[in-house]
Amino acid sequence: MLGSEVSYAEKSLKGRTSYSEGRFTGVVKELFPPSHVLLPQINQIYELDLAWGEYNKLDGPAVISRGAYFRSVEGLDTHHYKICMRTPDQVNASARQSRKNFFAANVFAVGYATHGLFPYRGKFHPQMVKAILNIMGLAPGKKVLDPMAGCGTVGIEASIMGIDSVTNELSPFACLMTRAKIGVLETDCRAFGRLRVEAREIFDALEKTFDHRRGRRNLIDEDAQAPLRFSAADSDGKILASLPQSLLELLTLCFLDSVGYAERRANKTPRDLFPDVLGRYLDAVEAFNGSRRELGLKVGKASTLRGDARHLKLEDVSVDGVLFSPPYSFAIDYLENDRPQLELMGVEVDDLRAEMVGLRGEGRNEEQRVAARLREYFDDMRLILSECSRVLRSGCYCTVVVGSNTNQTGGITLEDRLIELGESAGLKLQFQIMREIEGIRNTMREEYLLFFKKE
């Protein structure tokens, strides 16, 4: 950002720099000493609950380096505040006003670092993840697992905090998102000027590569540990040949984003949209890497696995914490949402469906279908929670975030059933926090953060 230019984040804050004009001023004064100043944009009680949890777990310097809900301690700005204040514009100029409003109202919650790249439905609020990791007692040197990682929010946030992570996910496209968003947290941005100028050539080279590979299967290795099999060698473009794997993965994600975005826009082709989307991606990566250098952040090591959470390819007692959010019964069809990207990647969507939690279960009528799906869902969740317990070290937390979806379950509350399943897998519920879900597209009214501990 140039000297006097006002940043996107500053504009979004409209002059509010701390919580002091917030909703629960009296309560906040009772809870926190004057040395600990909360961030603005805290509107819900669960956020206060998480801030309180952080305050109890972390000393002052740790709140500064790892806290999620604080603006400053003893007058020193937190890393979270500084990283978020660099957040560049999150949405394209032509995006719907509601989308723009959402990002403006959530500067500290969602779009910072690389979290805002590619809109993945049903992803975690990264700020909430940061606080949960703190409350679980995870710090640099520890390792966290997300067995159903989606677009990798837990892995990204852990890396930012210097915590190691292993993320597991069934969808190869979600694995690509995770790898792309984590891989550029520590990157050399000097080539970005050239990438911006050559955006259209890059698009053409990527398109040609995808054309070459049409009909061939999975671009991602079976275990997603090895670099993406899609490599510059597939492409005619010299432009791609010189780039490191992490940038290649970012550009691939950007390409797939433009393709999906163009499907929703009748009058634009992916090639028209690519330069803008790429510009936003590079801005976000540059902004975070600027913060990383300025704050001297040591990014945590991350590994990505492609696999089934019911049978994790991990050793017994090998992680210090588990944090995840399973599908909320069958609320979202993740495969259908990502079909254009999965098909371009050569994935047989219907093969994948057979292993997806929440998407299996047939019946002759709606009632039988719901009953069959629920049975499958709870059988799957029993296996997943046992796997989480198996790989977790004793005395460590496994935190599950789940929406209270009674609409599609004939009245059964998911959170209660998951508590039973967790406890029978050796995970004892310690406490829970309820979060009201905002947003018009959600059929669920609330979400539960269930903090289990392995006995």
Ligand X SMILES: C[S@@+](CC[C@H](N)C(=O)[O-])C[C@H]1O[C@@H](n2cnc3c(N)ncnc32)[C@H](O)[C@@H]1O
Altogether, the residues listed in the chain come to a count of: 455
d(CA 44, CA 445): 14
> Between 149 and 302, whose beta carbon lies closer to ligand X?
149
32's tokens: 């926190």
> Between 171 and 404, whose beta carbon lies closer to ligand X?
171
Element (H, E) at 256: helix 245-264
> Between 132 and 239, whose beta carbon lies closer to ligand X?
132
d(CA 202, CA 235): 10
d(CA 390, CA 396): 12
Residues that bind ligand X (CB under 6 A): 120, 122-124, 148-151, 153, 168-171, 174, 308-310, 325-327, 334, 355-357
Q: Are 22 and 42 in contact (CB under 8 A)?
A: yes
Q: Considering only CA atoms, which of 447, 341, 375, 360 is closest in space to residue 123?
A: 447
In the complex, the smallest distance separating the C-beta of residue 248 from ligand X, rounded to whole angstroms, is 22
> Between 16 and 445, whose beta carbon lies closer to ligand X?
445
Q: Are 111 and 87 in contact (CB under 8 A)?
A: yes
Measured in whole angstroms, the distance separating CA 209 from the mean position of its chain's CA atoms is 28
In the complex, the smallest distance separating the C-beta of residue 448 from ligand X, rounded to whole angstroms, is 13
> Between 111 and 150, whose beta carbon lies closer to ligand X?
150
Q: Considering only CA atoms, which of 198, 25, 6 is closest in space to residue 88?
A: 6
In the complex, the smallest distance separating the C-beta of residue 102 from ligand X, rounded to whole angstroms, is 16
Torsion sign, CA atoms 265, 270, 275, 281: positive
In the complex, the smallest distance separating the C-beta of residue 270 from ligand X, rounded to whole angstroms, is 23
> Between 164 and 387, whose beta carbon lies closer to ligand X?
387
In the complex, the smallest distance separating the C-beta of residue 409 from ligand X, rounded to whole angstroms, is 16
d(CA 213, CA 207): 10
- Residue, CB closest to ligand X: 150
d(CA 348, CA 265): 26
In the complex, the smallest distance separating the C-beta of residue 173 from ligand X, rounded to whole angstroms, is 9
In the complex, the smallest distance separating the C-beta of residue 382 from ligand X, rounded to whole angstroms, is 13
> Between 320 and 338, whose beta carbon lies closer to ligand X?
338
In the complex, the smallest distance separating the C-beta of residue 335 from ligand X, rounded to whole angstroms, is 7
In the complex, the smallest distance separating the C-beta of residue 215 from ligand X, rounded to whole angstroms, is 24
> Between 47 and 146, whose beta carbon lies closer to ligand X?
146
d(CA 99, CA 439): 11
Q: Considering only CA atoms, which of 342, 284, 291 is closest in space to residue 115?
A: 284
Phi, psi of 237 (to 5 degrees): -75, 120
> Between 294 and 348, whose beta carbon lies closer to ligand X?
348
In the complex, the smallest distance separating the C-beta of residue 325 from ligand X, rounded to whole angstroms, is 4
Q: Considering only CA atoms, which of 287, 253, 255, 247 is closest in space to residue 274?
A: 255
**Per residue, what are the HEC states of 28-92?**
HHHHCCCCEEECCCCCCHHHHHHHHHHHHHCCHHHHHHHCCCEEEECCEECHHHHHHHCCCCCCC
> Between 287 and 312, whose beta carbon lies closer to ligand X?
312
d(CA 384, CA 378): 10
CB-based burial of residue 25 (10 Å sphere; 0-12 exposed, 13-18 middle, 19+ buried)?
Answer: exposed
> Between 248 and 356, whose beta carbon lies closer to ligand X?
356
DSSP character at residue 112:
T
Q: Are 403 and 444 in contact (CB under 8 A)?
A: yes
State how beta strands 76-77 and 70-73 pair.
antiparallel
> Between 109 and 356, whose beta carbon lies closer to ligand X?
356
In the complex, the smallest distance separating the C-beta of residue 408 from ligand X, rounded to whole angstroms, is 14
Torsion sign, CA atoms 301, 305, 311, 313: negative
Cα dist. 425→317, 384, 455 in Å?
14, 9, 10
